[in-house]
Amino acid sequence: MEYPSKLIEDAVNEIAKLPGIGKKSALRMALHLLKQDEDRTQSLAGALVDLRTKTQYCKVCHNIADAPVCSICQNPQRDQSIVCVVETATDLIAIENTSQYRGLYHVLGGVISPLEGVSPSDLTIDSLLQRIQDENSEVKEVLLALSATMEGDTTSFFITKKLKPLDVKITTIARGVPIGSELEYTDEITLGRSIVGRKAYEG
Amino acid sequence: MEYPSKLIEDAVNEIAKLPGIGKKSALRMALHLLKQDEDRTQSLAGALVDLRTKTQYCKVCHNIADAPVCSICQNPQRDQSIVCVVETATDLIAIENTSQYRGLYHVLGGVISPLEGVSPSDLTIDSLLQRIQDENSEVKEVLLALSATMEGDTTSFFITKKLKPLDVKITTIARGVPIGSELEYTDEITLGRSIVGRKAYEG
């Protein structure tokens, strides 16, 4: 694509590096900013730089935080006896938005994936073990909420093996047919697992 | 949605103000930036601010430019005898990318739309008339390339009326069945116009 201005071209190229944004959307955004007040662009740019330079990671759970310890870990009203293990901060936000979980979290930073060169030492698994072994720890349950993929399952298996010697209950989120799905269109593996993992009807 | 950090929330809110971006995509972008080197964010923010603060509008054609006169108007190899009238810089870029046009442009800045409060004086129509009446003007043809909407047609009509007394040929881009379309799925108005506007077969 040819651009009428080098400034537009630079901006489009930078915006198009963001995930899910092509050159056409990037151009539309650049032209949108040009039409708006200068303050708009300044506050967008400022928010991005602040995000990148000021964000910290919680020392306890490795969640994104504004302070050395994140607001969830600092909140005494959260259930201190359960830790939910997630891959990323995005997954944490997704679980928070369900309003069904009031415990603590532990953000792994990914899953074990030999193909992508991610080994257990690249994740925050050691930190999780230390956290549970800490003498002040109140953790009684570790809830594994990892992706239902081979990498996720491998990681769950690895963590379970490490946690076995410690005195904690290990649970995992339920796998099954998603709410609102029709059986006819559910894949065979999910449907098969939902039968193997059947539970008492509570209707 | 709840965010683990005020910095994330601010960034997401700012990004989500861009056209076509919702909160979920904005969050994905924010987390993407967090994973990348700080340079990336700095150069993105820098490019946006530079775009907004340093971009100028061409004195002649009102296109986006790096200098007081844009690169197209400055280019002596462009055909100085034809001016293509477009609504926005986006349309200009779209026409440039066809490589079928080597003349000059005139960016109106919109179309006449009483409903949205856009009157002829909000557009660069006067500047177009002055440009053609200028004693050094070489313009012999004005090509109207406006949207095929009621507003676009109204604007074309208005400009045509203003240009009538001047010694220029007025043309408009061809309307018809798009290349690659099947007749069966072409709307009736387009199909009807394509019959009224039929031309000699050049096969």
pLDDT one-digit tens code per residue, B145-191: 999 899 999 999 999 999 999 989 999 998 888 888 888 888 888 88
Of B2, B29, B43, the CB nearest to A14: B43
Residue-wise burial string across A80-111, b where 16 or more C-beta atoms lie within 10 A, e elsewhere: bebbbbbbbbbbbbebbeeeebebbbbbbbeb
Distance CA(B76)–CA(A48), nearest Å, equals 41
Q: Give the span between the Cα atoms of A158 and A146, in whole angstroms.
A: 12
Distance from CA of A203 to the nearest CA of B (A): 31
**Strand-strand pairing, A64-65 and A103-107:** unpaired
Fold adopted by A78-172: Dna Topoisomerase Vi A Subunit; Chain: A, domain 2 (3.40.1360)
Question: Between A5, A18, A31, which is nearest B65 by CB?
Answer: A5
Nearest in space to B154 (alpha carbons), one of B180, B185, B123 = B123
Nearest to B8 among A21, A28, A64 (CB): A64
Helices (H), B76-120: 89-96
Best CATH choice for the domain B57-172 from the list 3.40.1360.10, 1.10.3720.10, 3.30.465.10, 3.30.420.240: 3.40.1360.10
CA distance B89 to chain A (A): 8
Q: What is the pLDDT of residues B42-94, one digit of tens each?
A: 999 999 999 999 999 999 999 999 899 999 999 999 999 999 999 998 899 88
- Dihedral (CA of A7, A13, A19, A22) sign: positive
Chain B residues lying within 8 Å of A89, measured CB to CB: 4, 31
Mean pLDDT in residue range A11-30:
93
Q: Tell me the helices (H) and strands (E) count for chain B, helix number first.
A: 8, 6
Q: What is the mean pLDDT of residues A36-55?
A: 94
Residues in chain B: 203
Grade residue A16 by pLDDT with cuts at 50, 70 and 90: very high
- Residues A142 and A163: beta-carbon distance below 8 Å: yes
Nearest CA in chain B to A46: B45
Contact between chains at B4 and A41 (C-beta distance less than 8 A): no
Q: Pick the residue of A2, A3, A5 with the most B CBs within 10 A to test the interface with B by mutation.
A: A5
pLDDT in tens, A49-106: 999 999 999 999 999 998 899 999 999 999 999 999 999 988 998 898 888 999 999 9
Contacts of B3 in chain A (CB under 8 A): 93
**pLDDT over 80 at A42, yes or no:** yes
Interface mutation vs chain A, best among B52, B88, B118, most A CBs within 10 Å: B52
Contact assignment for A7 to B54 by CB distance below 8 Å? yes
Residues above pLDDT 70, as percent of chain A: 100
Count how many pairs of residues, chain A against chain B, have C-beta atoms within 8 Å.
179
Listed residue (A4, A133, A8, A130) closest to B73, CA to CA: A4
Q: Where are the beta strands (DSSP E) in B87-134?
A: 103-107
What are A64's strand-pairing partners? A57
- How many Å apart are CA B172 and CA B104, to the nearest integer? 15
Show the DSSP H helices in chain A as ranges: 6-15, 23-35, 38-54, 71-74, 89-96, 125-133, 150-163, 188-196
Residue A196: partners with Cβ closer than 8 Å, 6 or more residues away: none
CATH class in words for B6-54: mainly alpha
d(CA B24, CA A97): 12
Choosing among A14, A25, A66, which should be mutated to test the B contact, i.e. which has the most B CBs within 10 A? Answer: A14
What is the spatial distance between Cα A141 and Cα B116, in angstroms, rounded to a whole number?
A: 59
B93 to chain A, closest Cα gap in Å: 7
Name the segment(s) of chain B with CATH classification 3.40.1360.10: 57-172
C-alpha to C-alpha distance for B70 and B143, rounded to whole angstroms: 19
> From the CA of A51, how many Å to the nearest CA of chain B?
5
Q: What is the pLDDT of residue A102?
A: 92
Q: Work out the average pLDDT over A114-137.
A: 93
The confidence score (pLDDT) of residue A48 equals: 95
Residues of B in contact with A109 (CB under 8 A): none
Mean pLDDT of chain B: 91
Per-residue model confidence (pLDDT) at position A174: 87
Residue A183: its pLDDT value, please? Answer: 82
Hey, are the CB atoms on B44 and A42 less than 8 Å from each other? no
Task: Please check whether residue A41 is in contact with residue B51, taking contact to mean a CB–CB distance below 8 angstroms.
Answer: yes
Backbone φ and ψ of B83, nearest 5° = -120, 125
> How do residues A184-197 score in pLDDT, each as one tens digit?
888 888 888 888 88
pTM summary value: 0.75
Instruction: Please report residues of B whose CB lies closer than 8 A to that of A88.
Output: 31
| Contact check, Cβ <8 Å, B64/A19 | no
Closest CA to A197 of A167, A172, A168, A166: A172
Dist. CA B30–CA B95, nearest whole Å: 34
CB contact at 8 A, B94 and B49? no
CB B114 within 8 A of CB B95: no
Tell me, what's the pLDDT at B177? 84
On chain A, the residues whose CB falls within 8 A of the CB of B44 are 14-15, 17-18, 45, 48
Phi, psi (5° rounding) for residue A32?
A: -65, -45
